[in-house]
Structure 1
Amino acid sequence: MTDETYPLTDDQRRMARVMAGMGVARRQIAKYLRMDEAALATRLGDDLEQAEVEANTKVAKALFTMATQKNNVAAAIFWMKARAGWREKIEIRPVVENDLSYLTDAELAAEIARIEREIRGAGGVLEGPALDRDDDRVASRIPRGG
């Protein structure tokens, strides 16, 4: 980069403020001004932070106006979620079509074996540790020879 002691023109300062207000990264602003980020922070840091605050305030004002005076429902909902803590309520309810909790372990193992036979009969392939009959962890729960 260039020497950080060269004077910035009013146009360069103005453009840096505009860029900061529009959310351009400090790295990009420094590159535009041909200086490193440390020099930018030293020379324009406070100005750029002020520009960001002013831009955010302007957008917030526009959003607030849209939500309160222009009947923009989306703006009102966004405001309430972002500023008032509103959240979408998501309710998860498990749906069990065939409740097998009443079965004994032996009955459950028999049902698993029946389903395995049904899948194999339809040309399906069974794989995975829960269906590995040589796995000692499940061997006692799944009848052999099924």
Structure 2
Amino acid sequence: MTGRPPFAPTDEQRRLVRAMAGYGVPHEDIARVVRCSAPTLRRYFRDELDVAAIEANARVAQTLFQQVSTPGNIAATIFWLKVRAGWREKRPDEAAPPPAATAPPEPFVIVRRIVDARSGDDQAPLMVLPRLRPQKVERSE
């Protein structure tokens, strides 16, 4: 019988597939590096492909959680609240009418939680965060 010998994955190939899949490399590209077809990759490396993405997401989530838990990291905190807690910034058409022309703009951004239809929460809590104002730069000539 002639033809190609059956594919036999090595431990090194398994480590490589797991790493590349964790980084989000497409299956076709991983298969090219491992020197097999994409269907063969999925057949022989199914566990590595499935678990790698989960592990990578867990590592990134752990890093983000550490950033959110660090006092003063407002950007990470806002990101977490928007993505995980369902909060969002109000659109201009949802905001209250603008203040009188003589009043300066408010230095705050209002962020609120999206109402979760499953829980029936109709009282969306508001969170007010300070808006960073650009610093004036004085130029000397």
Q: What's the TM-score once normalised by structure 1's chain length?
A: 0.57
- Deviation string 1:78-110 (CA, Å, 9 cap, x unpaired) is 1111111111211228xxxxxxxxxxxxxxxxx
Q: 1:22 to 1:70 in 2, by over 3 A?
A: farther
- Deviation string 1:56-86 (CA, Å, 9 cap, x unpaired) is 0010000000011353211111111111111
Aligned to 1:31: 32
The answer to whether the Cα contact below 8 Å between 1:23 and 1:52 also exists between their aligned partners in 2 is yes
Q: Does 1:64 align with 2:65?
A: yes
**Which deviates the most, 41-50 or 3-12?**
3-12
For 1:89 and 1:59, the matched residues in 2 are separated by: 28
For 1:10 and 1:90, the matched residues in 2 are separated by: 52
Higher strand share: 2
Aligned to 1:14: 15
Higher Rg of the two aligned structures:
1
Percent identity between matched residues is: 43
Q: 1:70 to 1:11 in 2, by over 3 A?
A: farther
Higher helix share: 1
Q: Does 1:86 align with 2:87?
A: yes
Task: Give, as a single letter, the amino acid of the residue that structure 1 aligns with 2:81.
Answer: M
- Deviation string 1:26-75 (CA, Å, 9 cap, x unpaired) is 11111111111111111111221101101100100000000113532111
Q: 1:69 to 1:36 in 2, by over 3 A?
A: same
Q: How many residues are aligned here?
A: 92
For 2:55 and 2:47, the matched residues in 1 are separated by: 12
Q: 1:44 to 1:70 in 2, by over 3 A?
A: farther
SS of the equivalent of 2:92 reads: coil
SS of the equivalent of 2:32 reads: helix
Aligned counterparts, 1:1-146, within 5 A: 3=4, 5-92=6-93
SS of the equivalent of 1:92 reads: helix
For 2:5 and 2:57, the matched residues in 1 are separated by: 29
The answer to whether the Cα contact below 8 Å between 1:17 and 1:48 also exists between their aligned partners in 2 is yes
SS of the equivalent of 1:87 reads: strand
Q: What's the TM-score once normalised by structure 2's chain length?
A: 0.59
Runs of 4+ aligned residues of structure 1 deviating over 3 Å after TM superposition are none
